[in-house]
């Protein structure tokens, strides 16, 4: 009956979302009077899970699963859920987890709710609150099947320490050849850069920057804050910045703790993609820019004067804190 989470890792180390899932699952498990089991796939050291309330870990170590394969990973998670007789399976909102979640839900004949924000509102019937309508509304969804699959919106719950004693167990799910119908040929990934998906802070800039040659200060600001860089759609359409940095409705979604928008007017499509970020700061010369309506903090003024000053001030702030 244990609650099952898939604790994701990259290159053998846990992603931060794994700890958010563990914290969330622990809370639900305590209310239900049950325990939390995690499944890990090719993760080297799983002991950190005991800091966040996980009671048991099923460790899968299989060289066939070295690269992400949605069907094979979904198959492993399904078998873990069956082994643990789990009624609630909790996944994250990473690109990989959103890929495999519907496959898991079909194989377990489970109802699936994605983009879940906050703890279940009720456990019987099982109701959760989700983000919908591109963050313009919340939807309360009831999952009516005995087995439930949830994917939790990043940063919507938080990470809470909760020491537990962790039982480790090796787990060898049977993986079929038919799980490998899609084969990875190559991966293109910028190394050493904070990705928009993983970042707690995102620094984004728009056409107000006037040209690609002016991005040096944006990158420097991001480095000082340990942030990822992003851009508005016109900037990526103009080829000033790579497509992978485009955030907004047709670009990447952002659910950061802090989103700083510099020289971005705040078109509704842009806001739709970034609005689940917790704190939004806007720097813009135009006090009428629509972004000020959705921002928490704003500075009206010229980015070319403000950003270099901000970098200097943040450097001395970081040195003293």
Partner 1 sequence: MNILVCISHVPDTTSKINFTDNDTLFDTNGVQFVINPNDEFGLTRAIWFQEQQGANVTVVNVGGPETEPTLRKALAIGANEAIRVNANPTDGFFVAKQLAEVIKNGNYDLVIAGKESLDYNGGMVPGMIAGLLGFNFINSCVALTIEGNSVTASREIDGGKEIVNSQLPLIIGGQKGLVEEKDLRIPNMRGIMTARTKVLTIIEPVGGESKTATVKFEKPAPKSAVKLVSADNLDELISLLHNEAKVI
| Rounded Cα distance, 191 and 183, in Å | 22
Identify the bridge partners of residue 122 per DSSP, sorted by sequence position: 127
Cα 103–Cα 269–Cα 199 angle in degrees, nearest 5? 60
Instruction: Report the residue from 115, 204, 229, 265 that binds partner 1 according to the rule CB under 8 A.
Output: 115
CB of 34 to partner 1, least distance (A): 22
Instruction: Report the residue from 13, 64, 136, 210 that binds partner 1 according to the rule CB under 8 A.
Output: 136
251 scored as a contact of partner 1 (CB under 8 A): yes
| Residues between 194 and 223 with contacts to partner 1, criterion CB under 8 A | 195-198, 200-201
Number of residues that bind partner 1 (CB under 8 A): 94
Instruction: Report the residue from 47, 144, 165, 174 that binds partner 1 according to the rule CB under 8 A.
Output: 144
Instruction: Report the residue from 134, 162, 164, 214 that binds partner 1 according to the rule CB under 8 A.
Output: 134
State whether the Cα torsion 237-238-241-247 is positive or negative.
negative
CB of 164 to partner 1, least distance (A): 27
317 scored as a contact of partner 1 (CB under 8 A): yes
| Rounded Cα distance, 110 and 177, in Å | 24
- Cβ of 32: how many Cβ atoms within 10 Å? 16
CB of 22 to partner 1, least distance (A): 19
Instruction: Report the residue from 111, 207, 214, 304 that binds partner 1 according to the rule CB under 8 A.
Output: 111
DSSP tag of 93: -
Instruction: Report the residue from 190, 213, 288, 319 that binds partner 1 according to the rule CB under 8 A.
Output: 190
Residue with Cβ nearer partner 1 (145 or 162): 145
Instruction: Report the residue from 72, 77, 101, 218 that binds partner 1 according to the rule CB under 8 A.
Output: 101
Instruction: Report the residue from 145, 162, 164, 214 that binds partner 1 according to the rule CB under 8 A.
Output: 145
186 scored as a contact of partner 1 (CB under 8 A): yes
Nearest alpha-carbon partner for 235 in 266, 264, 200: 264
The answer to whether residues 202 and 228 touch, using CB atoms and an 8 Å cutoff, is: yes
CB of 238 to partner 1, least distance (A): 12
156 scored as a contact of partner 1 (CB under 8 A): no
Cα 92 to the center of its chain, rounded Å: 7
96 scored as a contact of partner 1 (CB under 8 A): yes
How does strand 9-10 pair with strand 36-41?
Answer: unpaired
| Residues between 52 and 71 with contacts to partner 1, criterion CB under 8 A | 68, 70-71
- Cβ of 275: how many Cβ atoms within 10 Å? 18
Nearest alpha-carbon partner for 287 in 307, 301, 306, 268: 301
Cα 95–Cα 98–Cα 102 angle in degrees, nearest 5? 155
Question: Token digits for 139?
Answer: 């939807």
221 CB-contact burial (10 Å; exposed 0-12 / middle 13-18 / buried 19+): buried
CB of 216 to partner 1, least distance (A): 19
| Residues between 15 and 44 with contacts to partner 1, criterion CB under 8 A | none
Residue with Cβ nearer partner 1 (49 or 258): 258
258 scored as a contact of partner 1 (CB under 8 A): yes
Strand ranges in 27-66 using DSSP code E only, listed in sequence order? 36-41, 56-60
319 scored as a contact of partner 1 (CB under 8 A): no
């Amino acid at each position: 009956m244990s609650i099952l989470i898939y604790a994701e890792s990259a290159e053998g180390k846990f992603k931060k979302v794994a700890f958010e899932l563990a914290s969330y699952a622990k809370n639900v498990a305590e209310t239900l009077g049950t325990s939390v089991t995690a499944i890990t796939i090719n993760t080297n050291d799983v002991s950190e899970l005991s800091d966040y309330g996980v009671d048991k870990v099923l460790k899968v170590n299989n060289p066939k699963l070295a690269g992400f394969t949605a069907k094979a990973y979904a198959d492993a998670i399904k078998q873990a859920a069956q082994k643990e007789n789990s009624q609630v399976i909790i996944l994250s909102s990473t690109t990989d987890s959103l890929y495999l979640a519907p496959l898991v839900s079909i194989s377990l004949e489970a109802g699936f709710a994605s983009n879940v924000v906050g703890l279940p509102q009720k456990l019987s019937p099982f109701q959760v609150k989700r983000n919908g309508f591109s963050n313009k509304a919340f939807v309360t969804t009831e999952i009516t099947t005995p087995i439930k699959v949830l994917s939790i919106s990043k940063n919507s719950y938080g990470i809470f320490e909760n020491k537990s004693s962790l039982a480790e167990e090796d787990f060898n799910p049977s993986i079929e050849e038919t799980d490998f119908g899609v084969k990875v040929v190559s991966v293109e990934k910028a190394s050493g850069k904070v990705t928009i998906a993983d970042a707690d802070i995102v620094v984004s800039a728009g056409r107000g920057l006037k040209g690609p040659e002016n991005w040096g200060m944006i990158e420097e600001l991001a480095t000082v804050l340990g942030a990822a860089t992003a851009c508005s759609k016109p900037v990526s359409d103009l080829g000033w910045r790579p497509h992978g940095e485009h955030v907004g409705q047709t670009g990447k979604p952002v659910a950061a703790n802090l989103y700083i928008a510099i020289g971005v007017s705040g078109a509704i499509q842009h806001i739709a993609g970034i609005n689940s970020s917790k704190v939004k700061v806007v720097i813009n010369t135009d006090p009428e820019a629509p972004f000020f309506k959705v921002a928490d903090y704003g500075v009206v003024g010229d980015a070319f004067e403000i950003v270099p000053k901000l970098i200097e001030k943040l450097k001395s702030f970081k040195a003293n804190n």
